[in-house]
Amino acid sequence: MTALDLSPVAGRGRLGWSLSDAWVMCRRNLVKIPRTPELLVFSTIQPVMFVLLFVYVFGGSINTGSIPYRDYLMPGIFVQTVVFGAMTTGLGLAEDLQKGLVDRFRALPMSRGALLAGRTLADLVRNVFIVAVMLLVGLAVGFRFHHTTVIAALAGFGVLLFFAYAFSWISAVVGLSVRSAEAAQSGGFIWVFPLTFASSAFVPVANMPGWLQVFARNQPVTQCVNAVRALLIGGPVTSAALQSVAWSVGILIVFVPLSVRSYRRAAVR
Amino acid sequence: MTDSSAIVVEGLRKHYGATKALDGIDLQVAEGTVQGLLGPNGAGKTTVVRILTTLLRADSGTARVLGFDVVRDAQKLRGAIGVTGQYAAVDEKLTGAENLEMFGRLYRLSGRTARARAAELLERFELADAGGRLTQTYSGGMRRRLDLAASLIMRPRVLFLDEPSTGLDPRSRAQVWQVIEDLVREGTTVLLTTQYLEEADQLAHKITVVDLGKVIAEGTADQLKERVGGARLEVIIARGGDLSAAGGVLARFANGEVNTDGDRRSISAPVAAGAGVLPDLVRALDEVSVALDDVAVHRPTLDDVFLALTGRPAEADPKPDPEADHRADPSGPADGLDPEASGSGGPGPETGPGERELVAG
Ligand SMILES: Nc1ncnc2c1ncn2[C@@H]1O[C@H](COP(=O)(O)OP(=O)(O)OP(=O)(O)O)[C@@H](O)[C@H]1O
Ligand SMILES: [Mg+2]
């Protein structure tokens, strides 16, 4: 048997290689999605429970003015769902770290950001899928688009998914900084819970006590919910959409370099 | 000399707070040889491997592998070496073939080459049948072999193996050893860490013994064994036998400290005379009515080397364990021996009567 020629493929620039490495990593995670159906089921059951809970249990006592509550709620549910969905990024990375895979990748001549880029992209695909499921669930409980166009609605989902993508990178830093996947799990929810509940996702901010309003009005989840809501069911769009996109860009600017740094330093014994 | 060295390490230090994981390590590994890095838990073995494979930066010191500086030329080095970490690092939700193909792609092989190489390696490691199964269904030994296969994708000239056979059953271990021996025959340089003295003895051309971040001895297995001197006598006392009486007898034949392991009912001591002492010893033990389960003269093992170098056995846990306590504690079951072995001014036949008195009294 003649020995296989193992010369690496030549003539791809640095950027070309980064993209190709990221794609290898992304595909790895995509392939695994249908192999861990329990993860996907959990990620959808939870928001479905929230929809049922809020529409049928709390909904009657929440005053959203002239807007039917289920229309008010669903954009909030979408944001909550993708933000929770983004937590899987940290979870997956913590697991890679724990299993020694991060060490293996770091000892390869691959690009430094590939694992993170591939992982976050795969999680974005996952989020697209989950949002689609949630949209169907929403339609089933009576959610309807209002005062919008196809373009605006698509823009709404664009703002939503961009926001989710940015959050994946926060989650990545958490996942690479903790000792175990379990810690990444609880470490993720500790800060995500207040962000999603002290926001305009489920109730109008105006109904909250004054001190909480200050926080709720000025945090990114509220901005994203407001933007998505305006784009799906009507309302003043521009300011909220710009703020949401600005938050996402800002988060990426801070957390992409931070997670690459955590990746390079990640050391688990 | 440096020219033919695949690995050159000078003054490597790495501290974690007060822990000196590495406290000035020097190492030279000639191309085409197997270097064993031998030491107990926490000795610093993994830290050395991580630094040499660009995963960790030393606080000070330099290291070159194949002429590449591990910090400055890290990226080039990564393409030239293979690493198998202490714990098998494969993706459990991918099949064996998918794992190897993925790593091949990350070494920048074309898709087709990566697939072909994966198939080749699965074949070589007797994983061809399991190649299509998720690795979460693999046994520990299969996972280890896949892990090893992954580090060989590029036919690296230098291979780092951190405790390659820890946790494997004897058959899997033999397989792993076979692979390593084959690789060395093909010219690969291997740096291998191990806690198994037997493993270093079997595989390594040169052994460096590390303890608490320092090199405490270096040489071939034979050279290290010479440092403990001649043979070692061991008797296993029958259940219910008088350990201290037997220890006293052994001390007469020993030319060094007598060691008692109460759990195994084993007493051992270095002897100068070799197997020639056996008839006399058996007779002497019979005189004090100690029955034997077993008696043997061992050529020194690396265990003995470690004991001689550090004062404690190599495979003991550094955490305080009851056994360590009884070794150190003068009131432990071994106490009857100590006054004999050290206190009576050189063990020899003439100390015999004294011992008998002591035992009888
Ligand atoms: N990231 C870390 N943070 C703190 N201490 C560390 C870290 N990594 C290693 N150490 C300490 O450095 C010392 C050497 O560790 P190392 O893992 O190199 O030992 P080892 O010889 O590989 O041990 P083992 O046989 O258990 O694998 C140990 O005391 C360990 O506790
Ligand atoms: Mg180790």
User: Could you tell me if B22 and B194 are in contact, meaning their C-beta atoms sit under 8 angstroms apart?
Assistant: no
Residue B252: the pLDDT is 86
> Could you say which of A9, A24, A100 has the minimum Cβ distance to residue B85?
A100
> Chain B: nearest CA to A140, how far in angstroms?
34
Pocket test for ligand 1, best of B14, B16, B166, B215 (most atoms within 8 A of CB): B16
Choose the mutation target among B91, B133, B136 for the interface with A, i.e. most A CBs under 10 Å: B91
Residue B346: the pLDDT is 35
Is B89 touching A (CB cutoff 8 A)?
yes
Q: Give the residue among B186, B175, B153 at the shortest CA–CA distance from B31.
A: B186
pLDDT bracket for residue A24 (50, 70, 90)? very high
Q: Give the residue among A31, A97, A125 at the shortest CA–CA distance from B95.
A: A31
On chain A, the residues whose CB falls within 8 A of the CB of B50 are 103, 267
Residue B197: the pLDDT is 79
Residue ranges of the domains in chain B? 5-90+138-225+313-339, 230-299
Residue B43 near ligand 1, beta carbon < 6 Å: yes
CB contact under 8 Å between B94 and A109, yes or no, is no
Choose the mutation target among B108, B115, B147 for the interface with A, i.e. most A CBs under 10 Å: B108
- What CATH superfamily classification does B230-299 receive? ACT domain (3.30.70.260)
Q: Predicted ipTM?
A: 0.90
Is the CATH code 3.40.50.300 the one for domain B5-90+138-225+313-339?
Answer: yes
Residue B3: the pLDDT is 56
Residue B317: the pLDDT is 45
Query: What is the rounded distance in angstroms from the CA atom of residue B300 to the CA atom of residue A109?
Result: 44
Residue A129: the pLDDT is 94
pLDDT digits (tens, 9 = 90+) for A161-183: 999 999 999 999 999 988 788 88
Q: How many residues does chain A have?
A: 269
Q: Is the Cα torsion angle B67, B72, B76, B77 positive or negative in sign?
A: positive
CB contact under 8 Å between A28 and B134, yes or no, is no
On chain B, the residues whose CB falls within 8 A of the CB of A106 are 54-55
Ligand having the closest approach to the CA of B40: 1
Average pLDDT score over chain A:
91
Residue B275: the pLDDT is 65
Ligand 1 center to B355 CA (angstroms): 45
Residue B327: the pLDDT is 32
CB contact under 8 Å between B102 and A28, yes or no, is yes
Residue ID of nearest Cα to ligand 1 atom 30? B42
Residue B356: the pLDDT is 29
Residue B47 near ligand 1, beta carbon < 6 Å: yes
Residue B359: the pLDDT is 31
Residue B195: the pLDDT is 84
CB contact under 8 Å between B91 and A106, yes or no, is no
Instruction: Examine domains B5-90+138-225+313-339 and B230-299 and report if their fold is the same.
Output: no
- List all residues 6 or more positions away from B284 whose beta carbon is below 8 Å from its beta carbon: B249, B252, B253, B352
CB contact under 8 Å between A107 and B113, yes or no, is no
pLDDT profile of chain B (361 residues), mean per 10: 79 93 94 92 93 94 95 92 89 96 94 96 93 94 92 94 87 88 93 87 92 91 75 84 86 85 86 75 87 81 74 54 34 34 35 31 27
Residue ID of nearest Cα to ligand 1 atom 11? B21
pLDDT digits (tens, 9 = 90+) for A178-200: 878 888 888 778 888 899 999 99
Residue B166 near ligand 1, beta carbon < 6 Å: no
3-state class (DSSP) for residue A72: helix
> Chain A: nearest CA to B94, how far in angstroms?
7
Residue B326: the pLDDT is 34
Ligand 1 center to B157 CA (angstroms): 27
A interface residues, B as partner, C-beta within 8 Å: 4-6, 8-9, 12, 17, 20-21, 24, 28, 31-32, 35-36, 99-101, 103-110, 114, 267, 269
User: Chain A to chain B, count of Cβ pairs less than 8 Å apart?
Assistant: 88
Nearest CA in chain A to B121: A4
Residue B194 near ligand 1, beta carbon < 6 Å: no
Residue B5 near ligand 1, beta carbon < 6 Å: no
Residue B1: the pLDDT is 46
On chain A, the residues whose CB falls within 8 A of the CB of B116 are 4
Query: What is the rounded distance in angstroms from the CA atom of residue B145 to the CA atom of residue B127?
Result: 8
Query: What is the rounded distance in angstroms from the CA atom of residue B260 to the CA atom of residue A105?
Result: 47
Q: How many residues does chain B have?
A: 361
Which ligand 1 atom is at minimum distance from the Cα of B44?
18
pLDDT digits (tens, 9 = 90+) for A117-145: 999 999 999 999 999 999 999 999 999 99
Please list, residue by residue across A32-43, b when 16 or more beta carbons sit within 10 angstroms of its beta carbon and e when fewer do. bbeeeeeebeeb
On chain A, the residues whose CB falls within 8 A of the CB of B81 are 107
> Could you say which of A20, A24, A106 has the minimum Cβ distance to residue B102?
A24
Residue ID of nearest Cα to ligand 1 atom 8? A269
Pocket test for ligand 1, best of B15, B47, B319 (most atoms within 8 A of CB): B47
CB contact under 8 Å between A103 and B91, yes or no, is no
Residue A237: the pLDDT is 86
Place of tokens 């064993």: B36
3-state class (DSSP) for residue A46: helix
pLDDT bracket for residue A8 (50, 70, 90)? confident
